[in-house]
Structure 1
Amino acid sequence: MKILVRNLSRSTTEIQIRKMFEEFGKVGNCNLVLDAITGKSKGFAFVEMDDEEQAVRAMKALNETMVDKSRIRVKTAQ
């Protein structure tokens, strides 16, 4: 299942995001989207988890939580 994580602080790293989701199961891919020109975070990321049950638990638990002073939004990627 592909998950969209939005409203990330510009200081949040891909490693931090991966660790948050790994608490709920195996993470296949984690991609923090970076600006092509500046190389800085655009404030969102995609996380892939093969086990749908683990992915749903992670989304429910992490949605609306505070990470680096930002309230993140977590949902299924379209």
Structure 2
Amino acid sequence: MKIMIRGLSRLTTEEQVLALLAPYGLVHYFHLVMDPNTKNSKGFGFAFMPNPAQAKAAIKSLNGIEVDGQKIRVKKAEEKPEDNQKTEQSSND
């Protein structure tokens, strides 16, 4: 299950977020979105946890906690509509 984590401090690192998620189960990856111009964090990122029950437990426990002075928001990531269209186009080719 893909998870979106928002409201992160610009100082929070990928390693810190992985440490938050790790007690809930296997995390395949966490990607902190960075501004290409400034190279600073944009304050959000995406994680993938293969076990939906573990992902839901992480969401429930971590949503609303304070990390580096910021209240974070954790939820299931929704696919962008264009991602679905690309997948459909690829399967039709």
- What TM-score results when the alignment is normalised by the length of structure 1? 0.99
1:57 aligns to what? 57
- RCO (CA 8 Å, sep 6+): is it higher in 1 or 2? 1
Structure 1 CA distance, aligned partners of 2:49 and 2:56? 10
1:71 maps to a residue whose letter is: K
Structure 2 CA distance, aligned partners of 1:23 and 1:47? 14
Structure 2 unaligned spans of 5+: 79-93
The structure where helix makes up a greater share of residues is 2
Equivalent runs, 1:1-78 vs 2, <5 Å = 1-78=1-78
The structure where strand makes up a greater share of residues is 1
Secondary structure of the 2:45 match is strand
Q: Spell out structure 1 runs of 4+ moving beyond 4 A.
A: none
Structure 2 CA distance, aligned partners of 1:69 and 1:15? 17
What are the Cα deviations for residues 8-35 of structure 1, in whole angstroms up to 9, with x where unaligned? 0000000000110011000001100000
Q: Which has the larger radius of gyration?
A: 2
Instruction: State the shift of 1:4 in Å.
Output: 0.2
2:49 maps to a residue whose letter is: M
- What TM-score results when the alignment is normalised by the length of structure 2? 0.83
1:60 maps to a residue whose letter is: K
1:43 maps to a residue whose letter is: G
